Amino acid sequence: MTTPARIRPRALVRASGGPRYAVALAVDALGTGLLRPFLLLYGVTVLELSAPVTGTAMTAGIVAGLVCVPAVGRWLDRGARSTVVAASMLVRVLGVALLLAAPVGHVRLFAAAALFLGIGNQAWPAAHAALVATVAHGRERDTALAWARALRNAALGVGALLATVCLAGGTTVLRALAAVTALAYLAAAALAWSVHVHARPAEAAPAGKGDDVPAPRMGALLAANVVYVFCLNVPEIALPLVLVTQLHASPVWPAAVFAANTTLVVTLQVPVTVLMSRFSRRTVLALSGVVLAASYLGFLATASLGHGWAVPAVAMVSVLCTIGEIIYAGSATALVTALAPTPVLGRALARLQLSTGFGLAVSPAVITALAPLGPAALWGSLSAATLLSASVVATEKEGGTRISGHRTRERAGA
């Protein structure tokens, strides 16, 4: 066990990049919440594209964004921090501008917009984690990452709620929401850039020597992470699919489950991360897999209940699933930042984002393919795969170069 962290609001803001950077995170997430849930509707309603064409363009944007992530990692390893964060936001400004410029029926401009939005969305997590890892260290950094996630989820929820209220206004309002999103991204980029955070020269890779520093061997951890991130799409895809199409529940139920998920993440992400800080990060990450697997088995058990009990039972089990998600989110990035030597931190975080992005990209297809086969196929498979991933995380040996200073001490508690 290690000494648990403490929640000190002012120190937490400083450790997260400072007040201006906190505002940048909130504004950026607010803009994302305004647009992301309705990007598909924008393509179908405003541009009058077919749903398959719109969905294909959005998927291509996600994949293209993943392809650019290794370059982001190398940029971070040169010492850049707030510049990369700002760039990830500016790229999305360009994406929204193309969205607004696209005429009705013009699929190429919509695809280009989805491309730049995808690049920004995939580049931001690694850049943000690297910035926080530069400003804060040890358990304070873990808590700062958790606080930033809670803040971002709160702003995303507010943005999505505002967009939902405005949706009845039709295509004109959708275009207005896109314009407001672009302004939000632009303001966030300016605020993030103004923080001027860079890795110290001693911590950045020496000129021409960056490739000589070996990155930690995290193959098994990254493979396990692909399975872990399925939990992020459970409240958005799996549970609505089960509740509405199989249990014939009112659409109010999946909306309530999603709202509860967001509320729990916002309120519990920091306290749970602080509570878990008394254990090693690897132990906590493995524990999150056990909790997630238990929740999947809980969803499986609800299938045997009568119709009157199954729907509220699913909602109750979803709370356990959210707790597993919170524990996972508070330990995965923290573990990678603790394992990676500073000269290759960017590449290590980029590899983590590649595995996360891949899991998020394939999970909708896997979930929708397994769900028609029955509860045992869906929840049994997810539970078994997650338990296997948890065992891999728990038993994987540390790899990479051990270096002096705080990184060595952190690895002892990783």
Q: What is the pLDDT of residues 364-393, one digit of tens each?
A: 889 989 988 999 999 999 999 999 999 999
Tens-level pLDDT at each residue, the chain (414 residues): 555 555 566 666 776 677 889 999 999 999 888 887 778 888 888 888 888 888 888 888 888 889 999 999 999 999 989 999 999 999 999 999 999 999 988 888 999 999 999 999 999 999 999 999 988 888 888 999 999 999 999 999 898 888 888 777 777 888 888 899 999 999 999 999 998 888 875 455 555 554 556 667 788 999 999 999 999 999 988 999 888 888 888 888 888 998 999 999 999 999 999 999 999 999 999 999 999 999 999 999 998 887 778 899 999 999 999 999 999 999 999 999 999 988 899 999 999 999 999 999 889 889 989 988 999 999 999 999 999 999 999 998 765 444 444 454 455 567
Alpha helices in 277-339 (DSSP H): 281-302, 307-339
H or E, element range at 263: helix 252-276
pTM, full prediction: 0.88
In angstroms, the CA 10 to CA 18 distance is 9
Write the CA distances from 219 to 155, 216, 224, 346, 400, integer angstroms.
33, 9, 9, 16, 12
H or E, element range at 272: helix 252-276
Write the CA distances from 25 to 189, 198, 270, integer angstroms.
9, 18, 16
Closest CA to 117 of 226, 198, 225, 43: 43
Query: Which residue bears the tokens 């998927």?
Result: 59
- What does the block give as tokens for 299? 């969803």
∠ CA 162-167-169 to the nearest 5 degrees?
120
In angstroms, the CA 40 to CA 94 distance is 18
Exposed (0-12), middle (13-18) or buried (19+): which is 104, by Cβ within 10 Å? exposed
